[in-house]
């Protein structure tokens, strides 16, 4: 019974993943980009990075460091959009991991204190370790860069 349930869960998750995939060959996805969106475009053998000025049925215009450039839709092979920064999410993950590690270290430190502990009870040492570890974990998590490029169009 459990084996059948696991097979069903795998099939449902694969179907959901397939439905979540967008049509990468649809230029309307590119036309829906907001002005100022940070993109990378591959046209021919070149890849350029810039901000979207405008998009229509025939071309896309980017603001580059030295000015602007127009790319005809027929020449565009790939468009990638800069993803969001996940600084908040990473901070929460670091907070949770750091807190868990701090609690474990606080409990272990209380066992080996030999008469000298930060606090009189194991619970207080665990709480202190959790607070310290959680704070350090949140700082480390916020410093980890995770912005990525999401492919939205491919010829």
Distance of CA 68 to the CA centre of its chain: 29
The last residue of one of the domains, among 64, 82, 100, is: 82
Give the domain range for residue 139. 87-144
Residue 11 inside a domain? The answer is no
Relative to beta strand 59-64, strand 76-82 is: unpaired
The residue among 51, 41, 127, 34 whose CA lies nearest residue 78 is 41
| Rounded average pLDDT over 57-75 | 92
Residue 43 inside a domain? The answer is yes
pTM of the model as a whole:
0.54
Tell me the helices (H) and strands (E) count for the chain, helix number first.
4, 6
The residue among 130, 148, 24 whose CA lies nearest residue 83 is 148
Q: How far is CA 29 from CA 35, 61, 120, 122, in A?
A: 13, 15, 62, 57
- pLDDT tens for 81-134 read 987 778 888 889 989 999 999 888 888 877 766 655 666 777 888 888 899 999
């Amino acid at each position: 019974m459990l084996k059948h349930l696991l097979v069903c869960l795998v099939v449902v998750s694969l179907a959901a993943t397939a439905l979540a995939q967008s049509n990468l060959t649809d230029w309307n996805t590119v036309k829906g980009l907001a002005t100022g969106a940070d993109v990378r475009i591959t046209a021919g053998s070149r890849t350029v990075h810039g901000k979207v000025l405008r998009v229509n049925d025939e071309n896309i215009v980017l603001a580059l460091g030295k000015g602007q450039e127009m790319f005809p839709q027929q020449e565009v092979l790939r468009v990638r959009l800069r993803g969001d920064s996940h600084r908040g999410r990473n901070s929460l993950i670091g907070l949770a991991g750091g807190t868990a590690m701090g609690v474990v270290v606080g409990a272990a430190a209380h066992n080996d204190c030999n008469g000298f502990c930060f606090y009189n009870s194991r619970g207080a040492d665990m709480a202190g370790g959790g607070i310290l570890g959680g704070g350090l974990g949140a700082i480390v998590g916020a410093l980890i860069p995770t912005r990525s490029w999401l492919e939205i169009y491919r010829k």
